[in-house]
Amino acid sequence: EVQLVESGGGLVQPGGSLRLSCAASGFSLSDHYIDWVRQAPGKGLEWVGRSRNKVNSYTTEYAASVKGRFTISRDDSNKSLYLQMKSLKTEDTAVYYCARAVAGPLQGFYYYYYMDVWGKGTAVTVSS
């Protein structure tokens, strides 16, 4: 069974750091893109960032709201992906989800990747 499990959430003070983990099972992590998506209390979904697969050199993309503060990394040997969060702000308070992204059919010269399996999320609270 394809599964993603997030962990590492908790309470942190503004300006602090936290590292979230996303453990993958039932598929080869190195072959897949992984997204991080967050949801502030009572709000909608917000894309945070993406890690491409090994074939694409694990390159990353980030939302403007977190660029320069958040970093996505991987440890394929441990079947895990990480979201390192620094300089946290109160507006980063949210449930954070990781999601596997898979390729759709080739369109022109490109594949476009959509999210198909989500973890259950881990809650992050930034507060003094």
Sign of CA dihedral 113, 86, 15, 4: positive
Q: Which of residues 84-103 bind another protein (CB under 8 A)?
A: 97, 99, 101
Tell me: does residue 58 bind another protein (CB under 8 A). no
User: Binding residues for another protein, how many (CB under 8 A)?
Assistant: 27
Beta carbon of residue 78, minimum distance to another protein (angstroms, whole number): 22
In order of 49, 86, 120, the CA distances from 33 in angstroms are 11, 23, 18
Contact between 117 and another protein (CB under 8 A)?
yes
Other C-beta atoms closer than 10 Å to the C-beta of 126 total 19
Cβ atoms of 7 and 121 closer than 8 Å? no
- Which residues of this chain interact with another protein, rule CB under 8 A? 35, 37, 44-47, 50, 61-64, 97, 99, 101, 104-105, 107, 112-121
